[in-house]
Amino acid sequence: MSPRPLVVAVALSVLVAACGGDDADTTSGADAAITSSASTPDPGDGPAPSGDPPQDDPQEETTTSDRPGTPASQSPDGADDDPSVTSVPDEVVYPLEVDHVFGTTTITERPARVVTLGVGEHDYALSLGVTPIGLRLYSPTQSFPVWPWAQDELGAADPVQIAPGELNLEQIATLEPDVIMAMTSAIDDQEYELLAQIAPTVARPPGTRYQGVLWRDVLATHGQVLGRPVEAASVEADLDDLFAASRAAHPEFADATVSVVFYNSVSDVGTYTPQDVLYQFMGEFGIRPRPTRSTN
């Protein structure tokens, strides 16, 4: 097994420490969100730390599976309901249209210069063998571009580091990106419009909220947009093997539940909801969320 799946796996585990609680449900939207002018590739059914504060988006409708953290294409024990859903095309046909919460983005050709705006979203690109020219930092005091688990994938590359908080649009524009990936970012519609003037920008899937996008959808969409669908499917399969091995080694997880609270200077004390990325990750190990009530 290559180290690349570990980049996404470890990134997900750290993301849970920073993601904010949200009452929104999640939905697996990658399949319906990506189309090509020549065919309709299936990216596969199966996010990274974020310094952005929890955000509400009440105008968006969402759906969820019965068990948070269980991929829509799999049964709770990890077995595929339909093995055919994991097939992916060897190549991506451009132009490619990607639907997201702010509209539709057209990718005319395979991007060479990639900027990732979701904090930790660069881990997805790196796991596919794509090194972003610019990436978002986790903390304003962070002095290094990536965390240790992604250092091997980054190698000697020195991407421009984009500070968290308010977007530096001028900095992003000077990078002259071919595409901006913002699937795990908290950008709003106004920020999206400004970013789209710089380069085609891919936001989170329709019907999802910030901090509620399934990691499988983030990975599959990156695979399609960046022209690496086979690599994305391989990383997903390796991650599924890791999760399955962990469940097999710890059958007690099947009877375990967990509740997680957070504290920060923005929203004081509160609880994560079962639709948050945190519980998606815990659910991969078979650990179920204990019902909680937000204190916010």
CATH number of the domain located at residue range(s) 4-289 in this protein: 3.40.50.1980
pLDDT tens sequence across 112-126:
999 999 988 999 999
Total-model pTM = 0.72
Contact in structure between 1 and 254 (CB atoms under 8 Å)? no
Angstrom distance (rounded) from CA 19 to CA 49: 7
pLDDT tens sequence across 230-266:
999 999 999 999 999 999 999 999 999 988 777 776 6
- The percent of residues in the chain predicted with pLDDT above 70, rounded, is 64
Nearest to 8, CA basis, from 202, 181, 243, 178: 243
Q: Please list, in sequence order, all residues whose beta carbon lies within 8 angstroms of the beta carbon of residue 46, skipping any fewer than 6 positions away.
A: 28, 71, 72, 73, 74, 86, 214, 216, 220, 236, 240
**CA dihedral sign of residues 233, 228, 31, 61:** positive
Give a three-class secondary structure readout of 109-164. CCCCCEEECCCCCHHHHHHCCCCCCEEECCCCCCCCCCCHHHHHHHCCCCCEEECC
